[in-house]
């Protein structure tokens, strides 16, 4: 998933330049800004099941009662068994809503290496990641702020164990930056 939503009180300075805003929604007491999204479409909710890409999306983790078992089943798809868990969490066909920042946060909260293969994780581990994703997204939606423990903190101490946070590009089709703690989450692709 590309782009991100920020919510601000009216009049507050945005944390990204206005030139990167793709959509701005203003309601009394709040301004929601979508930055950097490559595509923005506006349509009625009732046509969502017919939309070519939206109809293929996994469960929306920001829905009132997302089907978490369905998300785990989709992550379990044999086609994804060889993927790293960091890449799988970004696949919106498995579960919808997790972007790169939240991917990093969720894996840190779960103390799991982003380079673990999906096929090597049991259902309980996948379920925990999906629940954490839902919780972090809800927290962001409710407060306008998300917990950030490793994202864009390369070289700084891990808030849990004080080891320096590492960063690497990850993913073949669409490499994204992965930040993680090699001590409490586990080694990276180089085994360190």
SS3 category, 87: helix
Which of 75/165 has CB closer to Zn ion? 165
Is the CB of 121 or the CB of 181 nearer to Zn ion? Answer: 181
**Cα 177–138–83 angle (5° rounding)?**
35
184 binds Zn ion (CB under 5 A): yes
The residue among 160 and 176 lying less far from Zn ion, judged by its C-beta, is: 160
Contacts with Zn ion by CB under 5 A: the residue count is 7
User: Shortest gap between Cβ of 108 and Zn ion (angstroms)?
Assistant: 8
Instruction: Please give the full DSSP string across 7-44, using - where no structure is assigned.
Output: EE-TTPPPSS-GGGEEEEEEETTEEEEEES-S------
For Zn ion, what does the binding mask look like between residues 143 and 182, x meaning CB under 5 A? ---------------x-xx-x-----------------x-
User: Which residue stretch of 14-22, 25-33, 172-180, 184-192 sits at the interface with Zn ion (rule: CB under 5 A)?
Assistant: 184-192
Query: Toward Zn ion, which CB reaches closer, 128 or 149?
Result: 149
Task: Using DSSP, state whether 169 is helix, strand or coil.
Answer: strand
Q: For residues 14-24, b (16+ Cβ closer than 10 Å) or e, as one string?
A: eeeeeeeeeee
Closest approach, Cβ 154 to Zn ion, in A, equals 13
| 59, 71 Cβ separation under 8 angstroms | yes
Helix (H) or strand (E) holding 178: strand 176-180
Q: How far is the CB of 111 from Zn ion (least distance, A)?
A: 8
Structural tokens at position 153: 């903190």
| Residue 23 interacts with Zn ion (CB under 5 A): yes or no | no
Q: How far is the CB of 156 from Zn ion (least distance, A)?
A: 11
Binding interface with Zn ion (CB under 5 A): 158, 160-161, 163, 181, 183-184
């Amino acid at each position: 998933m590309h782009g991100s939503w920020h919510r601000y009180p009216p009049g507050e300075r945005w944390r990204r330049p206005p030139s990167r805003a793709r959509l701005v929604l203003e309601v009394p007491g709040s301004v929601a800004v979508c930055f950097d999204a490559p595509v923005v479409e506006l349509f009625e909710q009732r046509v969502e099941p017919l939309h070519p890409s939206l109809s293929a999306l996994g469960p929306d983790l920001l829905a009132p009662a997302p089907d978490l078992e369905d998300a785990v089943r989709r992550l379990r798809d044999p086609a994804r068994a060889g993927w790293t868990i960091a890449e799988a969490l970004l696949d919106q066909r498995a579960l919808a809503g997790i972007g790169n920042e939240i991917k990093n946060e969720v894996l840190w909260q779960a103390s799991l290496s982003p380079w673990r293969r999906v096929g090597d994780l049991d259902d309980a581990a996948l379920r925990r990641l999906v629940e954490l994703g839902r919780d972090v997204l809800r927290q962001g939606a409710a407060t306008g702020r998300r917990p950030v423990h490793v994202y864009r903190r390369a070289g700084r101490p891990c808030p849990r164990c004080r080891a320096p946070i590492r960063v690497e590009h990850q993913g073949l089709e669409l490499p994204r930056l992965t930040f993680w703690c090699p001590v409490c989450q586990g080694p990276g692709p180089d085994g360190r």
